[in-house]
Every structure is written in structure tokens, then in C-alpha cells.
A = this chain, B = another copy of it.
């Protein structure tokens, strides 16, 4: 009952609003549907759902499988109210946590193979999540997949993640090629191709800002 609900609390409450679940099912579902945008450990979820009960947003009922207990959770009317109230508030902005890029920023303290490894490891990780996400979408277009009346929402997120993954993977290819072409990882500075790329990026930004100003 202490402290306020966090964003993670509402995330879980939102899952309960769709359906009642056992704690373990909640961890599966959270992993399946939210991990790409809101990554939390499974152990955290076991704790968080108890807090929901403490606030009166969910009820717990214990079932029994053989000699072992398990807990099923369901949302309460107060929980639905709280969820709706939260949904009416504005979200925090996106946050990226990309250790591979951090390492690239510091790459001149190591050697070229370190920088290349950072890029390749990052690419592998994205390739894996991208593939998992796409398999889920394949199920949906084949008429499979849970809660088909919610596909329009899931599909919106999937399209974003696919765009993100494509951008990230393309960037990995470019970055790897460029690092490979450096004589060394230190002291390269502003080469002509780099200057050109930056100018392109700036021009693209300016075009967008200009378009935005024209609207209204």
C-alpha cells in the first residue's frame, strides 16, 4: 500500500484489464507483448502485482496444482478507474539504452576490433528480437495469435519495431564498413565523407523542420 504506482504498475494493470491471469502467465504475457518497449525482469512482475492488490486495483485468488499453490489475479473496478485516469495523462519521452553506441563513443580508448565487436554484437541482438517479433506477426496474419480483436494495436507497435530494427541494422552495416576503412580508431577526425554525411543529416532535419512549420 505504500508509494504511488509506477509506469510498470500500470503496464501490468493494463494486462489484467484485458484478461485475468495467473502470476506466471502474466510474466509470459509481459515478456511477449511488452518487453521490446518496456523491459522488466520476471521477478519484478511477481512483486509488482502484489502491490496492485495492495492498492485495491486487483484481487488475488490462490489455486492449487498438486501440492503447489499458484495465484491468479483479476482487475477490480477501482483498478479500471485508475488505469483510465492514467491513460489520460501524457507519457514520458522515449529512452534508448544502447551500450554498443556508448562503447563506440569511447572507442578511441580501445582498438579497432573492440569497435567492430560492439557493432556486431549489437546487430546480433537486434536481429534476434526482430525475428521473434516478426514470427508473432506471422501468426497474426495467419489468423492465429491471441486476442485478435486487439491486432490493430499490436500491429502499430510491430510496425514501429520493424522500422526501428531496419534502421538499426542498416546503420550497423554502414558503421562496420566505415570503421573497417579507418586506418586506426583514433585521431581520424572529420573526414570528407563524414562531413558529407553530417551535412546530409542536417539537411534532412531542416527539411523536416520546414515541413513542420508549414503545417498550421
A199: chain B residues within 8 A (beta carbon): 141
Tell me which of B14, B122, B137, B175 contacts A109 (CB under 8 A).
B14
A195: chain B residues within 8 A (beta carbon): 141
Given the known interface contacts A88-B110, A205-B131, the answer about A175 and B156 at a Cβ–Cβ threshold of 8 Å is yes
Q: Check A59 for interface membership: any CB of B closer than 8 A.
A: no
* Copies of chain A in the complex: 2
Given the known interface contacts A195-B141, A205-B130, the answer about A168 and B94 at a Cβ–Cβ threshold of 8 Å is yes
Q: Check A125 for interface membership: any CB of B closer than 8 A.
A: yes
For chain A, what secondary structure do more than half of its interface residues adopt (helix, strand, loop), or is it mixed? helix
How far apart sit A106 and B168, CA to CA, in the bound complex (Å)? 26
Assess the B100–A153 pair: CB atoms within 8 A.
Answer: no
The B-contacting residues of A in range 1-32, CB under 8 angstroms, are 7, 10-11, 14, 17-18
Q: Check A78 for interface membership: any CB of B closer than 8 A.
A: no
Number of interface residues of A (CB under 8 A): 101
Instruction: Say which one of A34-42, A44-52, A65-73 lies at the interface with B.
Output: A34-42
A194: chain B residues within 8 A (beta carbon): 151-152, 155
Given the known interface contacts A87-B109, A109-B17, A157-B105, the answer about A198 and B137 at a Cβ–Cβ threshold of 8 Å is yes
- Residues of A in contact with B (beta carbons under 8 Å apart): 7, 10-11, 14, 17-18, 33-34, 36-39, 80, 83-84, 87-88, 90-110, 114, 117-118, 121-122, 124-131, 134, 137-138, 140-141, 148-160, 162-164, 166-171, 174-175, 178-179, 182, 186-191, 194-195, 197-199, 201-202, 204-205, 208-209, 212
